[in-house]
Amino acid sequence: MSLLVIGTVAFDAIETPFGKTDKIIGGAAPYISLAASYFTPNINLVAVVGDDFPQNYIELLQNHGVNTEGLQIKKGEKSFFWAGKYHEDLNSRDTLVTELNVLADFDPIIPKSYQDCKVVMLGNLTPTIQRTVIERMERRPQLIVMDTMNFWMNIAWDELMKTISMVDVLSINDSEARQLSGEYSLVKAANKILKMGPKYLIIKKGEHGALLFGEEQMFFAPALPLEEVFDPTGAGDTFAGGFVGYLCKSEIINFGAMKRAVIYGSTLGSFCVEKFGTTGIINLSATQVEERAKKFMDLVSVSW
Amino acid sequence: MSLLVIGTVAFDAIETPFGKTDKIIGGAAPYISLAASYFTPNINLVAVVGDDFPQNYIELLQNHGVNTEGLQIKKGEKSFFWAGKYHEDLNSRDTLVTELNVLADFDPIIPKSYQDCKVVMLGNLTPTIQRTVIERMERRPQLIVMDTMNFWMNIAWDELMKTISMVDVLSINDSEARQLSGEYSLVKAANKILKMGPKYLIIKKGEHGALLFGEEQMFFAPALPLEEVFDPTGAGDTFAGGFVGYLCKSEIINFGAMKRAVIYGSTLGSFCVEKFGTTGIINLSATQVEERAKKFMDLVSVSW
């Protein structure tokens, strides 16, 4: 099934205890699109950059099968820029710079050729822009997956609730699930959030794995304990990209397929954190992906 | 296989956001023994209490098949007493009272009838006392499992290292594994700790599950997300009790059996935290245990 991805396309400058980068390609949409590209050939990007954004970064996406017709390039404007520094344990970070630039008045235009997309992945953005994308689709897609974050819970609650009510799958982390629901127990939090509209909820727990709720069922995908974690940037977006990419490939939308999709999301996420930025997910073979996914399955496999 | 359990037997007074208890039965050994009792009928306790310890608590253990011949009752002395108060999220707690009392000069005497025990579970205690138990066994047991904590890493490092070098399985939590190894990555931490002597290492991650390392393999058992967690006291000891209890029942000591044992340890731990103190693990049916264990398996089950 064809995939429409909306999200930021940005410059990131990242510092971790293991090193730092200059401005490199970042933002939710590249991580989502690159991860999804290992599963589906039909990826359609809606995003905005300035004319400072390097052509070779756009070609990187195109070389992974990403249709960039919906990527607006604003003449004389600068791309979104984020700089952050991770703490020693990589579990928290300080944002050093956020320059919205072109993102400040981003109006997501859906090219005619994208209107048939069956799956829409709403990367983290203002909930209003996310909803605009849904409203500008002439037919309701078969599946709408939404990623968001605590920031929007703090400053745009009503808009966020409206958008959440329109999607099929919501993907957030554990502290965000607690904030959104007002419940500490993730089981209770999930029950409340599933009443807000989504049929499925993914709760990401970082190095502790991910939970999937829906259809009165619960599933847990572990994270693979790794020897080295270099850079967690984009891990959540990469997870989302692997998740929707796999669903596009499988062409099945039910709890069973989503369980497998969560495993593949986690699989791509594990490659992402092993290297800086997108480096870990731009050059994988199908065999590497399958072998890594098998490690996730073996990790919890028991014979009785 | 017969099980020898050594550990504290104590009064606990517990306060959580959901309520508080008077002095109730606590300490590592009751949690371990009660949990193990769902799997094996032959449990032999080595511990010490004062003559203030109620007969009905001793009978509670006996009614679960625990041989209390090795429970020393010190005339005119008082039992170990611990009081603690949990914070709102139950992930941390303050110790309000620690009265060692009889524990201060505990000399673990192994009754003759315990000498045939095949499995020894060393509950958390000073590493010196734990080692004394090993040394007082006339034959080396088939399996020695050791639980310990960061406290002994801080004040008795050399003694701890000596005892660790003598055991087959070490059970600690994630922050303790990091402290013991000096490695943040749990994979690297496990590699280092397995060079200290133990053939197997369990890293408990509380609400995030447990990892098992050994035989060049790695296994992860999830924690079951629960609607209600009332009291985490004893969860780690209960886990250890379910773990060794299952191994005694299975009579197999290898990685495959330990994987199943970790699931049963987690299963018993999940019952423990649902009620105050030992309440959640004193009255379970075999069916309840099996049904709960199945929930752990279903939680990670995927069909491909």
Q: How many residues does chain A have?
A: 304
Q: Which residues of B touch A290 (CB under 8 A)?
A: none
Type of residue at A29: A
Those residues with Cβ within 8 angstroms of residue A266's Cβ, 6 or more apart along the chain or in another chain: A209, A210, A221, A222, A223, A224, A239, A242, A296
Going from the C-alpha of B42 to that of each of A88, B61, B278, the distances in angstroms are: 47, 12, 20
- Asked whether the beta carbons of residue A188 and residue B227 sit closer than 8 angstroms, the reply is yes
Residue B108 DSSP one-character state: -
- Asked whether the beta carbons of residue B227 and residue A300 sit closer than 8 angstroms, the reply is no
The tens digit of pLDDT for each residue in B103-156 reads: 999 999 999 999 999 999 999 999 999 999 999 999 999 999 999 999 999 999
In this structure, of A37-46, A86-95, A208-217, B44-53, the range with the lowest mean pLDDT score is: A86-95
B→A interface, C-beta within 8 Å: 88-89, 184-188, 205, 208-209, 211, 218-222, 225-229, 256, 259-260, 263, 297, 299-300, 302-304
Nearest to A253 by CA among A88, A107, A119: A119
User: Is the separation of the CB atoms in A137 and A118 below 8 Å?
Assistant: no
Confidence of residue B6 (pLDDT cuts 50, 70, 90): very high
**Nearest-by-Cβ selection for B222 from A185, A188, A220:** A220
Going from the C-alpha of B150 to that of each of A259, B125, B157, B178, the distances in angstroms are: 37, 11, 10, 10
Distance from the B142 Cα atom to the nearest Cα atom in chain A, whole angstroms: 22
* Vertex B85: Cα angle to B84 and B87 (nearest 5): 140
Nearest to A188 by CA among A198, A199, A177: A177
* Vertex A191: Cα angle to A185 and A196 (nearest 5): 125
Measure CA B262 to chain center: 12
Cα dihedral sign, A152-A156-A161-A167: negative
**Among B270, B302, B303, the residue to mutate for chain A (most A Cβ within 10 A):** B302
Asked if residue B92 has pLDDT above 90, the reply is no
The CA distance from B207 to B287, in Å, is 24
Nearest to A23 by CA among A47, A68, A59, A57: A57
Type of residue at B304: W
Nearest to A15 by CA among A89, A100, A93, A99: A93
pLDDT of residue B294: 97
Distance from the B48 Cα atom to the nearest Cα atom in chain A, whole angstroms: 38
Q: What is the mean pLDDT of chain B?
A: 97
DSSP string, B266-304: HHHHHHHTTSSTTGGGSS--HHHHHHHHHHHHHHT----
Q: Which residues of A touch B184 (CB under 8 A)?
A: 88-89
pLDDT of residue B8: 98
Type of residue at B58: I
- Asked whether the beta carbons of residue A260 and residue B304 sit closer than 8 angstroms, the reply is yes
CATH topology for the B3-298 domain: UDP-N-acetylmuramoyl-L-alanine:D-glutamate ligase (3.40.1190)
Instruction: Classify residue A130 as left (phi > 0), alpha (psi -120 to 50) or beta.
Output: alpha
Instruction: Classify residue B11 as left (phi > 0), alpha (psi -120 to 50) or beta.
Output: beta
DSSP string, A188-207: HHHHHHHTTS-SEEEEE-GG
User: What tokens appear for B126 in the block?
Assistant: 């000073």
- Cross-strand bridge partners of residue A121: A5, A145
Q: What is the mean pLDDT of residues B150-170?
A: 97
The tens digit of pLDDT for each residue in A175-229 reads: 999 999 999 999 999 999 999 999 999 999 999 999 999 999 999 999 999 999 9
- Cross-strand bridge partners of residue A175: none
The helix or strand, by DSSP H or E, that contains position B258, with its residue range, turns out to be: helix B255-272
Nearest to A25 by CA among A16, A37, A34: A34
Asked if residue B72 has pLDDT above 90, the reply is yes
CATH topology for the A3-299 domain: UDP-N-acetylmuramoyl-L-alanine:D-glutamate ligase (3.40.1190)
The tens digit of pLDDT for each residue in A83-132 reads: 999 998 888 899 999 999 999 999 999 999 999 999 999 999 999 999 99
Asked if residue B304 has pLDDT above 90, the reply is no
Asked if residue B171 has pLDDT above 90, the reply is yes
User: Is the separation of the CB atoms in A121 and A42 below 8 Å?
Assistant: no
The tens digit of pLDDT for each residue in A237-262 reads: 999 999 999 999 999 999 999 999 99
pLDDT of residue A91: 83
The tens digit of pLDDT for each residue in B173-207 reads: 999 999 999 999 999 999 999 999 999 999 999 99
Residue A282 DSSP one-character state: S
φ and ψ of A61, to 5 deg: -65, -45
Question: Per-domain residue ranges for chain B?
Answer: 3-298
